[in-house]
Structure 1
């Protein structure tokens, strides 16, 4: 006795259905019942579709910045005793760390 297997579906067939579902107002159950789709299979393809969409859209966009000269800024530290220390830009992290560790 042979068991009937549902035909294998491909993204070319399922993705347009998923886009139709996402653009509509039906629940997954209603959508699947109306089209004779297995809800488990549909949910599998919905997950694949969303994964493919996430890969193709990173959420970041490349922007071109104008060619503006960089101006080095400085740092100003104020210790609890009121002493202010102004440091010009271009100071190494280790030097800055040593200044922060000074007990006044």
Structure 2
């Protein structure tokens, strides 16, 4: 969230530092985490968002698409998980910022 706040304040140098740090943490945790872990979906979405916010939209969207497809056969949580993932897929950096800073004004 630190990267988002700095980006909102138009401080892209600081925001990129936060996004890189967050991406490193996500990668380190996801490398050792089972995809059955309750936090796997959230951390994978954060990884994709970090990639998108760092300008790597193609890779970020590939991560989201792979995650989306992994919930195709999940009868219990699949529909809601796919809806959440879809809310970030193929979004621009500005659209993702709007999602994070939409307080229902």
Q: Which TM-score bucket, shorter chain as reference? A: under 0.3
Name the structure, 1 or 2, with higher relative contact order (CA <8 Å, separation 6+): 2
TM-score (normalised: structure 2): 0.24
Higher strand share: 1
Which structure's residues are more often helix, by fraction? 2
Pair member with larger Rg: 1
